[in-house]
Amino acid sequence: MSKSISWAVACACFLASFQSAYGQAIPAWKPADYWFLDVEVFPREAAPAPPMRNYQINVLVSGKSQIGGVPCWTVGFLPGKPVPANLGDNYSISVAQDKGWPVNIIYYARFKRVPEPALLAGALGLGMPLESLGLVGATPGLKQGITRPTEQPQWLERFGDAGFITAAVPGYPMEVFPLIESGPLPAAKSGARLSLAKHKDGEFTVVEALLKVDDKEKLLVRQKWIDGEKWWREYERYIDGKKDLEARREMPATNKPSQIEVPADKIGTRDDPLYLHRDPKLHAKVEVEAKGAKLADLLERLRQATGLNITLDDALTGHNPDLGYIQPTKNGWSARAVMSIIQTAQLENGFWEKTPDGYKLTGKSLVSVPEAQVSASSSRWWLIPGIVALVLAAGILVVWYRLILQR
């Protein structure tokens, strides 16, 4: 048996033994799980004081993805209420479903211009309209504009097969790692060493990630979990031995589940925020231009990718919206994300109505008639009086000619 196979078997056995003793080593997330975090910042030395020390960060499991062939959860971190002046942007982490380590991190810079539609839902992989989610009301940034994603590989260091966010992103408690205990992992290229520890503290399972550089503590992240729950209850982060960040999960009321629930009679209707997400054929990838994408071209690509008949309602004949800027991705956008963008682009009450062989876009177009077309059509109105005058003149000539013949 090779060393790699032996290591994989050992890891699997370790995770299984940990799970039996301390609950799940990897939380059982589902798309649309979300949590509200109350955050407090502790000023760093030799750095300006933050404009706001207490605020909210919202976390959303926005879907699934494949990163280098690894099935991942996509976890978004978004500023909530109030929005600190220095924390207007968003982050997305791809977390391996089988091991719980992050494999990719993306920073989303926000732009204030808001062309229809707001693209954040698609950018985070939701592929669904967000207006009906409870998360939106507590996340103003979702309504404020479009985003441009940029991968940040320098923030994520590799320790053998493990990945860890070593950048200590200011203001965001976004370190994600499996709930396991491990001695020092293989050193990163930078020479940094990472180890995980855990212990019981009353009802909590406490997990700590310790990063050392030159044998000195550089970063310590402590999380307190309740067995069986999907996100930590309490969080602390220390940089060079000094507290940098503290957070607590806001506990929802017992009648407000954190998982989106849709009544059976609402599934597939306008009141179902997951209706596109439910169709596996809409997980297919579609290439989209960054700017200037044409609706007719996207509809054809959607048909080719999904095998479904994607059409427009007769009332939308000539509807050609401005889709704004759409950041290209390496593997393309999911069909459901593209459809979500289309159904909110300069369209009132946009909705993809299910048909026997696909989907039909319905709604009221808000696309303005081009000015040139308006001016050209308006400029033709001056012809009408002239035409009327010519017709009257011709009639007078005919009457006059008949009078002459009768003499």
Mean pLDDT of 352-360: 93
Contact call for residues 58 and 37 (beta carbons, < 8 A): yes
Which 3 state secondary structure label does DSSP give 124? coil
Find, among 47, 155, 31, the residue nearest to 103 by Cα.
155
- Cβ 108 vs Cβ 91: under 8 Å: yes
Q: Which residue from 74, 81, 68 is spatially nearest to 120, judged by alpha carbons? A: 74
pLDDT of amino acid 95: 94
- The token duo for 332 is 């393309």
Pairing of strands 309-312, 358-365: parallel
Model confidence band, residue 24 (pLDDT cutoffs 50, 70, 90): low
Query: Which residue ranges make up each domain of the chain?
Result: 26-250, 264-365, 372-406
* Per-residue pLDDT tens digits for 136-175: 445 555 554 445 667 888 899 999 989 999 999 988 999 9
- How is residue 188 written in tokens? 């990163």
Average pLDDT of span 121-143: 46
C-alpha separations of 254 from 83, 200, 216, 257, 258 in Å: 27, 26, 44, 7, 10
Residue whose C-alpha is closest to residue 178's, from 288, 85, 98: 98
Whole-angstrom Cα Rg for the chain: 29
10-19 per-position pLDDT tens digit: 444 444 443 4
Q: Give me the phi and psi of 29, to 5 degrees please.
A: -70, 160
- The residue among 22, 68, 27, 64 whose CA lies nearest residue 161 is 68
What's residue 206's pLDDT? 95
Answer whether 327's CB lies under 8 Å from 334's CB: no
- DSSP state string for 50-113: PS-SEEEEEEEEEEEEEETTEEEEEEEEEE-SS--TT---EEEEEEETTT--EEEEEEEEEES-
Neighbours of 74 (CB within 10 A): 21
Per DSSP, the three-state class of 313 is: coil
Between the ranges 51-60, 62-71, 226-235, where is the mean pLDDT highest?
A: 226-235
Helices then strands, counting H and E runs in the chain, come out as 7, 18
Give the pLDDT of residue 253: 60
Alpha-carbon distances, residue 67 vs 9, 111, 173, 269, 331 (angstroms): 23, 26, 23, 32, 10
Mean pLDDT of all residues in 303-326: 88
Q: How far apart are CA 116 and CA 79, in angstroms?
A: 22
Claim: this prediction has a pTM higher than 0.75: no
Q: What is the pLDDT of residues 243-268, one digit of tens each?
A: 999 999 988 665 555 556 778 888 77
Per-residue exposure over 153-191, b if at least 16 CB sit within 10 Å of its own CB, e if not: eebbbbbeebbbbbbbbebbbbbbbbbbbbeebeebeee
Considering only CA atoms, which of 53, 79, 77 is closest in space to residue 140? 79
The topology (CATH level 3) of 264-365 is Phage tail protein beta-alpha-beta fold (3.55.50)
How much is the pLDDT for 392? 47
* Residue 5: per-residue pLDDT: 44
pLDDT digits (tens, 9 = 90+) for 368-406: 755 444 444 444 444 445 544 544 454 544 444 444 444
319 phi, psi to nearest 5 deg: -70, 115
Task: Name the more confident of 10 and 29.
Answer: 29
Helix (H) or strand (E) holding 132: none
Q: Is 317 helix (H, G, I), strand (E, B) or coil?
A: coil
Tell me which residue has tokens 């494949």: 66
